[in-house]
């Protein structure tokens, strides 16, 4: 009887158009860094941030994948060809966390209201939960430098939402962050956004921590 019930459940999930993937069936392709480089908004640029993702993944036993930090950069004008959009550098998906649970099936799903990214699923590379707003120390501010659709802020209107394209560690500048736990101080969509909640109040490690962060960021497997 138990076997029949399990088979029926899998069949119902499949008919609903959702992949019947059990925890542990898929390789890790997404995580929140368990720790940042420790230098505030200075991540060593995109190259340094990507290397940090790869190093944490390897230490957790995941190898052979190309890891990219979910971070955007800014230019000085509206049509700067050198601007990098976070959504364009993370591959096509789908992405699963360290427990084998899908957080998004593709880029559009990731940036929609249907994604499965929340405190229970936005785990670190070791499969551990990251402290949310109600815990101490609060670490729910995740660096992104991105707008809700995963694109960069226009430097002409928002001079610095990326701590100098992830090279600043001083009191000046700021970086846009999201809330991995989808919780904020008020009940508004921006306060619950995983990638665009509010900017930091500076770029030092202490400045980044003031609003509830620790210099953490999202990592995605781009292959």
Q: pLDDT in tens for each of the 223 residues of the chain?
A: 343 333 333 333 333 444 434 456 799 999 999 999 999 999 999 999 999 999 999 999 998 999 999 999 998 876 788 899 999 999 999 999 999 999 999 999 999 999 999 999 999 999 999 999 999 999 999 999 999 999 999 877 888 999 999 999 999 999 999 999 999 988 888 899 999 999 999 999 999 999 999 999 999 999 9
Which pair of structure tokens corresponds to residue 71?
A: 């971070």
Does 82 reside within a domain? yes
- What pLDDT shows up at residue 157? 83
Does 130 reside within a domain? no
Does 147 reside within a domain? yes
Kindly state the DSSP code that residue 50 receives in the 8-state scheme: H
Listed in sequence order, the DSSP H helices in 84-191 are 107-110, 163-166
How far from chain centre, in Å, is Cα 185?
A: 20
User: Rounded to an integer, what distance in angstroms lies between the CA atom of residue 172 and that of residue 204?
Assistant: 8
| β 213-221/141-143 pair status | parallel
Listed in sequence order, the DSSP H helices in 16-133 are 45-59, 107-110
Does 113 reside within a domain? yes
110: how many CB neighbours lie within 10 A of its CB?
A: 26
Does 166 reside within a domain? yes
User: Rounded to an integer, what distance in angstroms lies between the CA atom of residue 33 and that of residue 57?
Assistant: 9
**CATH code, domain carrying 98:** 3.10.100.10
Count how many domains the chain has.
1
Find the length of the chain: 223
Q: Which residues of 39-77 are buried (b: 16+ CB within 10 A; e: fewer)?
A: bbbbbebbebbbbbbbebbeebebeebebbbbbbbbbee
Does 13 reside within a domain? no
pTM over 0.85? The answer is yes
Does 85 reside within a domain? yes
- CB 26, CB 96: distance < 8 Å: yes
Name the residue among 57, 92, 65, 68 with its Cα closest to residue 144: 68
Does 19 reside within a domain? no
Q: Which residues pair with 30 in a beta bridge?
A: 220
Listed in sequence order, the DSSP H helices in the chain are 2-15, 45-59, 107-110, 163-166, 205-210
**Could you list the residue range(s) of the whole structural domain that residue 212 is in?**
27-125+139-221
């Amino acid at each position: 009887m138990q076997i029949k019930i399990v088979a029926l459940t899998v069949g119902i999930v499949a008919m609903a158009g959702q992949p019947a993937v059990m925890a542990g069936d898929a390789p890790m392709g997404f995580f929140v860094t368990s720790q940042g480089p420790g230098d505030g908004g200075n991540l060593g640029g995109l190259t340094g941030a990507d290397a940090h993702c790869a190093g944490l993944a390897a230490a957790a036993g995941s190898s052979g994948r190309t890891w990219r930090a979910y971070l955007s950069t800014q230019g000085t004008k509206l049509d700067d060809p050198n601007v990098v959009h976070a959504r364009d550098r993370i591959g096509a998906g789908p992405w699963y966390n360290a427990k084998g649970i899908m957080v998004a099936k593709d880029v559009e799903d990731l940036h929609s209201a249907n994604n499965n990214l929340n405190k229970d699923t936005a785990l670190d590379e070791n499969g551990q939960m990251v402290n949310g707003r109600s815990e101490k120390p609060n670490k729910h501010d995740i660096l992104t430098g991105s707008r809700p659709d995963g694109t960069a802020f226009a430097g002409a209107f928002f001079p610095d939402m990326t701590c100098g394209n992830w090279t600043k560690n001083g009191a000046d500048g700021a970086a846009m962050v999201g809330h991995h736990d989808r919780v904020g101080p008020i009940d508004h969509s921006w306060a619950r956004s995983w990638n665009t909640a509010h900017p930091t109040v500076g770029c030092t490690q202490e400045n980044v921590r003031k609003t509830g962060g620790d210099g953490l960021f999202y990592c995605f497997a781009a292959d």
